[in-house]
Chain A
Amino acid sequence: MSRLNILTKGFIKENPVLIFLLGMCPALAVSTQVSNALGMGAATTFVLLGSNTVIALLRNVIPNKVRIPCYIVLIAGFVTLVQMFTEAYVYTLYQALGIFLPLIVVNCIVLSRAEIFAQKNTVFNSILDAISTGGGFTIALLAIASIREILGSGTWFGLEIPVLAAENIPIFVMAPGGFAAFGIIVAIINKVSKGKALKKKEFGCEGCPSAQTCVKGGVE
Chain B
Amino acid sequence: MDVKVLLVIMMSAILVNNYVLSQFLGVCPFLGVSKDRKNAVGMSVAVIFVMLLATVATWPIQHYLLDRYNLGYMQTIVFILIIATLVQLVEIVLKRYSPSLYSALGVYLPLMATNCAIFGVTITNIKGEMTFIESLVNALGAGTGFLLAMVVFSGIREHTENADPPPSFKGIPITLFSVAILSLAFFGFSGVIENMFG
Direct contact between A and B judged by beta carbons closer than 8 A? yes
Least Cβ distance of A209 to chain B in Å?
12
Residue of A26, A175, A203 touching B31 (CB-CB under 8 A): A203
A76: Cβ under 8 A from any B Cβ: yes
B133: Cβ under 8 A from any A Cβ: no
Interface residues of B in 1-40 (CB under 8 A from A): 21-28, 31-33, 35
A179: Cβ under 8 A from any B Cβ: yes
Interface string of B75-95 (1 = CB under 8 A from A): 111001100100110010000
Q: A102 — which chain B residues lie within 8 A by C-beta?
A: 75-76, 119, 123
Contact between chains at B25 and A25 (CB < 8 Å): yes
Q: B74 — which chain A residues lie within 8 A by C-beta?
A: 80
Number of contacts between A and B (CB, 8 Å)? 158
Contact between chains at B75 and A179 (CB < 8 Å): no
Q: In whole angstroms, how far apart are the Cα atoms of A111 and B84 in the complex?
A: 14
Contact between chains at A175 and B22 (CB < 8 Å): yes
Residue among B26, B109, B173, B183 with max Cβ neighbours from chain A (10 Å): B173
Q: B77 — which chain A residues lie within 8 A by C-beta?
A: 73, 76-77, 80
Interface residues of B in 54-113 (CB under 8 A from A): 73-77, 80-81, 84, 87-88, 91, 109-111, 113
Least Cβ distance of A116 to chain B in Å?
14
Interface string of A72-90 (1 = CB under 8 A from B): 1100110110011000000
Q: In whole angstroms, how far apart are the Cα atoms of A110 and B113 in the complex?
A: 14
Q: In whole angstroms, how far apart are the Cα atoms of A184 and B177 in the complex?
A: 8
A204: Cβ under 8 A from any B Cβ: yes
Contacts A25-B28, A29-B24, A180-B176 given; does A103 touch B113 at CB 8 Å: no
Interface residues of B in 116-164 (CB under 8 A from A): 116, 119-120, 123-124, 127
Contact between chains at B172 and A21 (CB < 8 Å): yes
Residue of B21, B35, B116 touching A103 (CB-CB under 8 A): B116
B49: Cβ under 8 A from any A Cβ: no
Give the interface SS of chain A, mostly helix, strand, loop or mixed: helix
Contact between chains at A106 and B114 (CB < 8 Å): yes
- Least CB separation from B177: chain A residue: A183
B169: Cβ under 8 A from any A Cβ: yes
Contact between chains at A99 and B123 (CB < 8 Å): yes
Contacts A29-B23, A176-B181, A176-B187 given; does A106 touch B32 at CB 8 Å: no
- Least CB separation from B31: chain A residue: A203
Q: In whole angstroms, how far apart are the Cα atoms of A80 and B76 in the complex?
A: 7
Contact between chains at B168 and A190 (CB < 8 Å): yes
Q: In whole angstroms, how far apart are the Cα atoms of A146 and B151 in the complex?
A: 32
Least Cβ distance of A32 to chain B in Å?
11
Contact between chains at B184 and A171 (CB < 8 Å): yes
Q: A54 — which chain B residues lie within 8 A by C-beta?
A: none
Contacts A77-B77, A191-B168, A204-B35 given; does A179 touch B180 at CB 8 Å: yes
Contacts A80-B74, A99-B120, A176-B183 given; does A214 touch B113 at CB 8 Å: yes
Q: B75 — which chain A residues lie within 8 A by C-beta?
A: 80, 102
A-B contact pairs, 30 of them (CB 8 A): A28-B27, A29-B25, A72-B80, A80-B76, A83-B73, A98-B127, A99-B124, A102-B75, A106-B116, A108-B28, A111-B114, A174-B187, A175-B21, A179-B179, A183-B173, A183-B176, A190-B167, A190-B168, A190-B173, A195-B167, A203-B28, A203-B172, A205-B32, A208-B32, A210-B114, A211-B111, A213-B114, A218-B110, A218-B111, A218-B113
The interface of chain A, by Cβ under 8 A from chain B, is 21-22, 24-26, 28-29, 68-69, 72-73, 76-77, 79-80, 83-84, 98-99, 102-103, 105-108, 111, 171, 174-180, 182-184, 186-188, 190-191, 195, 198, 200-205, 208, 210-211, 213-215, 217-219
